[in-house]
Structure 1
Amino acid sequence: MFWMMLGVFGPILLIGFFFARRQDRINRAMTEMEHAPPETGYVGPHRPGPS
């Protein structure tokens, strides 16, 4: 019974953990960009402002 449950829910949990880890890495990178030193300059899309 344990192996059957593991076979059913194991892949779902693995996929969930994979995407949670990926999202955590993205969140950490975005936080680092927000706290970048001022000499880094503007990092982002270059779009014209309102005229």
Structure 2
Amino acid sequence: MFWMMLGVFVPILLLGFVFARRQDRITRAMAEMEQPSPETGYVGPHRPGLS
């Protein structure tokens, strides 16, 4: 009984772990893309009268 439960739940847990790691990498990459690097400065339209 123990081995049957182990055979069912271990693959499910491993799949969850793999997808959680993948999602974490994607989340970190998106967070890095949102933060501009310090040497970039302001990148956008330079229109007079707008700050």
Instruction: Name the TM tier (shorter chain).
Output: 0.5 to 0.7
- Taking the aligned partners of 2:37 and 2:12, their CA distance within structure 1 comes to 40
Instruction: Quote how far apart the aligned CAs of 1:2 are.
Output: 2.2
Q: Gaps (5+ residues) in structure 1?
A: 43-51
Runs of at least 4 residues off by over 6 Å: none
Instruction: Give TM-score, length-normalised by structure 2.
Output: 0.66
Q: Which has more radius of gyration?
A: 2
Instruction: Quote how far apart the aligned CAs of 1:37 are.
Output: 1.5
- Computed over aligned residues only, the root mean square deviation of the Cα atoms, in angstroms, reads 2.0
Matched, 1:33 2:49: no
Residue-by-residue CA offset, 1:27-46 (whole Å, 9 max, x unaligned) = 00000111121628x7xxxx
Q: Gaps (5+ residues) in structure 2?
A: 44-51
Q: Which has the larger share of helix?
A: 1
Counting aligned pairs with the same residue, the percent is 73
Aligned position for 1:46: none
